[in-house]
Chains A and B, each alone.
Chain A
Amino acid sequence: MRYLPLTDTDRSAMLARVGAATIDDLFVDVPEAARLDGPIRGLPMHASEMAVERHMTRLAAKNMAAGSVPFFLGAGAYRHHVPATVDHIIQRGEFLTAYTPYQPEIAQGTLQMLFEFQTQVARLYGCAVANASMYDGSTACWEAVSMAARITRRKRVVLSGALHPHYAEVVRTMAKFTEDEIADALPTVQPEPDHAGLIGRIDETTSCVVVQYPDILGRISNLAEIAEAAHARGALLIVVNTEPVALGAIQSPGELGADIVVGEGQSLGVGLQFGGPYLGLFAVRDPKHVRQMPGRLCGETVDATGKRGFVLTLSTREQHIRREKATSNICTNSGLCALAFSVHMTLLGEAGLRQLAALNHARACHAADRLAQVPGVTLVNQTFFNEFTLKVGRNGRELVRELADRGILAGVSLARLYPGVANLDDGLLVAVTETTTPEDIETLASALEELLA
């Protein structure tokens, strides 16, 4: 058993030191009736590295890897090229196998990285302070809603209809138990999101307004009027971003008046991974809200000799310390994903992120124009970054399956995101990144021409 260093000789010697005749003497407190005597039902005996690798590789081969086909899925998870350096760094054992940095004297590597990460995220979001990461964008979104309720002491949450439906579902799920009232809607599949309708739902009991930027259909709209309306009624504006690369091309949520910005950081460094682990980003524009933030924070300080160093700080907010007075469900964070994000951001830098964003937008513009030429296809969006919505004149989910049978992963149908909503079922969300080639776009366009003819 290659991971277990004790030999039978060791075990005998150790049992003697412990004063036990057999190993089962150490399980004496386990009631006889509850002990498993035989082997675990159906589980084979231990297997060699070769044998396990063969089994797992066979399972992996049954999946259609995104990189092996023309690929256009987004809707909150995006395929970007990750430089080889990123995985090299995160596989260094001193990062990969380190613990949470509660002993700062021997965790400065992780802590300095988190401080740099916080600074990168705060700047990207146009905010004062970012935390050291959370589970993912959707849970960060709920934590932001919960934080807004604490700050405003109000219970009514206004969700934009153009918020990712899974994010809205996470908020609805949790609100059932915390008794926040949710006012939400379905998206309007129109060139412009329904700002007037959203603003009309804000009242004096509203704790926060949650909007997505760019929104679930890929549209980009000025949030300033929503921010103004929210602030006029004492509510906070929460902005959700699921594609951080977009912020290399468009104004930051903080600049447009967001109070709390949350998002999914998966795009940079983390990879698709069938949905997780991902990286929740969380930042506040006003530093006075820091003490209400969930999650870990890394702060600068000095050591006993005056050298600069970093520690986890303000941890009296955290649940393992506050116990029943805790205000968030966050215990751990996504430290290694934060490292991957931060290394990718460092490799890009200001110039690289802007160029990456410009490249994404250029490819997406080309794709939107080409796909809109397919008979039967209508481009919904007037604005977008790297993802847009097509109306395809038939059930998008079936169309996606048929395209998959042809080896094209064509996008996410609104029918999958909004099961059972009749007027959305012909919508198809198409995402285009720097990994999408002009040939991929042509392949999709040709296949659509055939299938929609």
Chain B
Amino acid sequence: MNAPNASGWKPEMTPDDGGAPATSTGNRALMLEEPLIFEIGQAETTGVDFPAFDPPATSRLGGLGRTSPIGLVGLSEPQTVRHYTRLSRQNYAIDLGLFPLGSCTMKHNPRLNEKMARLPGFADIHPMQPASTVQGALEVMNELAHWLIELTGMHGVAMSPKAGAHGELCGILCIRAALEARGDAREVVLVPESAHGTNPATAAFAGYRVEDIPATPEGRVDVAALKARLGPDVAAVMITNPNTCGLFERDFREIADAVHAAGGFVYCDGANFNAIVGKVRPGDLGVDAMHINLHKTFSTPHGGGGPGSGPVVLSEALSPFGPLPFTARTADGVVHLVEEDNAAEYDHVQAFGRMTAFHGQMGMFTRALTYILSHGADGLKQVAEDAVLNANYVLRSLEDLLEAPFAASGPCMHEALFSDNGLPDGLSTLDIAKGLIDEGYHPMTVYFPLVVHGAMLVEPTETESKASLDQFIGAFRHVAERARAGDMALKQAPVYAPRRRLDETQAARKPVLAWQDRGD
């Protein structure tokens, strides 16, 4: 085992720096403290030069010219570079190490994707340029749409949703529009317990009443309970597959057939599509609508919280209802971009409108297409296989030490689920997570899925080597062994991060959400 502490080395300084001298700056060698821009910048400082210009003889601002200061401060270019470079060093990132976040799919972000998205022909074009001047961009949309349709076995794709949750909403609104078009007002959306937390929110936001469907003890949808609940009031079932327990829903086809027989639609949360891409086509399982988080399956950088991109693939029954702009395949196999002007031409007049001002996340489309072409048919399949192999390797390497509630349910897909069951009183999932930070890792997903108490969801992804998995497994084992042995020092973790545990209660009770000059 290549665990970093395999040699038994212990740091000489205690976590509290008992013996370490204090520094006058608060800095510690390469770890530098950084004030806020408002504490170091000045109103008159700027890092940008402009050409000289003559002010107009008459201002056309309608008497509303600014009279009071905005309250901004500026930094020169060198100060700016230093400020943000110092801040960047206080972040963990996939470029620094493994990011085992279940359901979040933090994989390597190829730099070619970044380079391609920055080509002026893609980055420097306006969404309302005449079509004749953006043919290459429309080809990217069409080509990506084509592969999304092909990889999922679906009929059409709504490209505009801006993120996964936005895509979920889009899919459910398509379902609602289709039901309304046939004069069928249904009120309920069924959401299994193993679905993503955003699913119930989406259904409620679209005006539906949400009812939970329980999971079986082995972590899958309780098919009997679901079938028993189906009826003329059920608009849709929202299933995540592979689900958030990391398992493939074996009975998906049976569920889909039952839902269709009852007149409802099947929404599949596609957040975990990376585990089956090239191996299974959701359309063949009976899915009517599924969003694809391009950033997860096709590797757009997460960017510290976005932007995402969530195109929604649709079955033939739902395709006429996708929002504009929309991409659809005609009988000749060609994929077209449909907007307001040509909607009738493509028999797409039942679209429920726009969900966002423009075409969606073009920058992500470029990155995703670059990724798909780089991997090709063989590579995409290998992606799913390696992601699944890596997750099972983690599962089987830790199940002797940590309870793995569904380890007996069969192989996991792309993520391995553990729980804090069996840890001594007072120590929990959170302590293991914070302990992993001191070992140099971003923690796994914690307390999710909700069906498992003290859940820990580990998704290594396919871009981790065996050596990196072995080191991570070693670190995880080390922390878990400390927890099992009742090492209460874990309650203090992390001790080596730029900050110790932060007081989240104070932040919520007395919110300070903007900088105020305190005059001191």
| A73–B410 alpha-carbon span in the complex (Å) | 56
CA separation between A349 and B408, bound complex, in Å? 59
Which B residues, 332 to 384, have Cβ-Cβ distances below 8 Å to chain A? 340-341, 352-364, 366, 369-370, 372-383
- Residues of chain B within 8 A (CB-CB) of A28 are 410-411
Q: Evaluate contact between B120 and A319: CB separation under 8 angstroms.
A: no
Within 8 A of B (CB), among A395-448: 400-401, 404-405, 409, 412, 416-417, 419, 434
Interface residues of B in 104-122 (CB under 8 A from A): 104, 106, 108-110, 112, 114-116, 118-122
B115 and A320 form a contact (CB under 8 A): no
Contacts A45-B376, A97-B93, A272-B127 given; does A173 touch B56 at CB 8 Å: no
Q: Taking each of A276, A290, A400, which has the highest tally of chain B beta carbons within 10 Å of its own beta carbon?
A: A276
Assign chain A's interface to a size class. Answer: 35 or more
> B55 at interface (Cβ–Cβ under 8 A)?
yes
In the complex, A451 has a CB within 8 A of chain B = no
Question: Would you call A419 and B341 a contact (CB within 8 A)?
Answer: yes
Contact A40 B204 (CB under 8 A): no
B498 near A105 with CB under 8 A, answer yes
For the complex, is A225 an interface residue (Cβ under 8 Å from B)? no
Min CB gap B57→A, angstroms: 8
Report yes or no: A350 in contact with B71, Cβ–Cβ below 8 A.
Answer: yes
> Nearest Cβ in chain A — how far from B24, in angstroms?
16
Fill in one digit per residue for A160-197: 1 if any B CB lies within 8 Å of its CB, else 0. Answer: 00001011011011101111000000000000000000
Q: Are B323 and A305 in contact (CB under 8 A)?
A: no
Contact of A272 among B72, B125, B140, B206 (CB under 8 A): B125
Is A221 touching B62 in the complex (CB atoms < 8 A)? yes
- Highest count of chain B CB atoms <10 Å: which of A45, A100, A220, A273: A273
- Asked if B132 is an interface residue, CB under 8 A from chain A, the answer is yes
Stretch touching chain A among B2-10, B83-91, B312-320, B480-488: B83-91
Q: Identify which of residues 365-380 in chain A touch chain B, using a CB-to-CB cut-off of 8 Å.
A: 365-366, 368
B223 interfacial by beta-carbon distance below 8 Å: no
Complex: A311 Cα to B503 Cα, angstroms: 8
B11 in the interface (beta carbon within 8 A): no
User: Contact between B88 and A351 (Cβ–Cβ < 8 Å)?
Assistant: no
Please indicate the chain B residues that have their CB under 8 angstroms from the CB of A25 in the complex. Answer: 411
CB of A453 within 8 A of chain B?
no
Supposing A52-B373, A108-B499, A173-B352 touch, asked if A60 and B127 sit within 8 A by C-beta, the answer is no
Contacts of A335 in B (CB 8 A): 302-307
Q: Check A205 for interface membership: any CB of B closer than 8 A.
A: no
- Known A60-B119, A302-B506: A332·B66 in contact at CB below 8 Å: no
Per-position contact with A for B68-97: 1 when CB-CB < 8 Å, else 0? 111111110100110111011111111110
Give the docked Cα–Cα distance between A333 and B166 (Å): 11
> Does chain B have a CB within 8 A of A292?
no
Residues of B within 8 A of A172 (CB): 353
Q: Which residues of A contact B137 (CB under 8 A)?
A: 59, 63, 274
For the complex, what is the distance from the CA of A225 to the CA of B439, rounded to whole Å? Answer: 60
Residues of B contacting A298 with CB < 8 Å?
513
B405 at interface, CB cutoff 8 A: no
Nearest A residue to B73, CB-CB? A349
Residue of B nearest to A348 (CB): B48
Cβ 8 A contact of B501, one of A26, A132, A247, A303: A303
B385 at interface, CB cutoff 8 A: yes
Name the interface residues of A18-59: CB closer than 8 Å to any CB of B.
Answer: 18-20, 23, 25-31, 33-36, 39-47, 49, 52-53, 55-59
Per-residue CB contact flags for chain B residues 495-508 toward chain A (1 = under 8 Å, else 0) read 00111111110111
The answer on a CB contact under 8 Å between A53 and B116 is yes
Closest to B44 in A: A351
Given known A55-B373, A319-B198, A323-B201, contact A334–B437 (CB-CB < 8 A): no
Given contacts A36-B281, A320-B197, whether A4 and B204 have CB atoms under 8 Å apart is no
Q: Considering only CB atoms, which chain A residue lies closest to B254 in the complex?
A: A31
- Taking CB atoms and an 8 Å cut-off, the chain B residues in 178-195 that contact chain A are none
**CB-nearest residue of chain A relative to B126?**
A73
A5 to B132 CA separation, bound complex (whole angstroms): 42
Q: Which of A42, A304, A310 has the most CB of B within 10 A?
A: A304
Nearest A residue to B364 by beta-carbon distance? A277
Cβ of A98 within 8 Å of any chain B Cβ, yes or no, is yes
A89-B84 in contact given A303-B499, A351-B44 (Cβ < 8 Å): yes
Nearest residue (CB) in A for B340 is: A419
> How distant is A63 from chain B, measured CB to nearest CB, in Å?
4
Best-surrounded residue of A13, A109, A255, A328 (most CB of chain B within 10 A)? A109
Task: Check if A40 sits within 8 Å of B87, measured CB to CB.
Answer: no
Interchain CB contact under 8 A, A349 and B165: no
Question: A339 — which chain B residues lie within 8 A by C-beta?
Answer: 84, 303-304
Query: Counting CB contacts under 8 A, is A358 at the interface?
Result: yes
Q: Is A227 an interface residue (CB 8 A)?
A: no
Contacts of B59 in A (CB 8 A): 361, 365
> A347 and B46: CB pair below 8 A?
yes
**Complex: A296 Cα to B513 Cα, angstroms:** 11
A68 touches B163 (CB 8 A): no
**Do A361 and B61 have beta carbons less than 8 Å apart?**
yes
Cβ distance A221 to chain B, nearest Cβ, rounded Å? 6
- With a cutoff of 8 Å between Cβ atoms, the chain B residues found around residue A67 in the complex are 120, 124
Q: B119: which A residues are within 8 A, CB to CB?
A: 56-57, 60
Scoring B77, B84, B305, B353 by chain A CB atoms within 10 A of each residue's CB, the highest score goes to B305
A100 to B295: give the CA distance in the assembly, Å: 13
In Å, the complex CA distance between A278 and B68 comes to: 29
Chain A hits for B257, CB < 8 A: none
B77 (CB) vs chain A CBs: closest residue: A85
Nearest opposing residue in chain A for B308, CB measure: A332
Proximity bits, A344-360, B CB within 8 Å = 1, else 0: 01111111111110110
Whether A351 contacts B66 in the complex (CB less than 8 A), given A47-B374, A329-B166, comes out as no
Q: Is B60 a contact of A382 with CB atoms below 8 Å?
A: yes
A4-B386 in contact (CB<8A): yes
B471 at the interface (CB under 8 A from A): no
A450 to chain B, nearest CB (A): 18
Known: A97-B94, A323-B201. A56 touches B366 (CB 8 A): yes
Q: Smallest Cβ distance from A293 to chain B, in angstroms?
A: 10
Minimum CB–CB distance for B169 against chain A, Å: 5
Within 8 Å CB of B378, what residues of A?
1, 39, 45-46
Q: Are A331 and B122 in contact (CB under 8 A)?
A: no
Contact status A251-B66, CB under 8 Å? yes
A347 touches B48 (CB 8 A): yes
Quick one: closest A residue to B468, CB to CB?
A: A5
Which of B50, B252, B355, B500 meets A139, CB within 8 Å? B355
Q: Which B residues are CB-close (under 8 A) to A5?
A: 463-466, 468
Are A79 and B124 in touch, CB under 8 angstroms?
yes
Beyond A63-B133, A135-B166, list 11 extra A-B contacts (CB 8 Å).
A6-B466, A45-B378, A64-B133, A77-B128, A105-B502, A222-B62, A251-B65, A276-B162, A299-B507, A336-B306, A404-B132
List, sorted by A's number, 16 A–B pairs whose CB atoms are closer than 8 Å: A1-B382, A4-B382, A43-B380, A46-B375, A76-B358, A100-B305, A115-B513, A139-B162, A139-B356, A170-B357, A249-B66, A250-B61, A274-B122, A277-B363, A320-B196, A346-B37
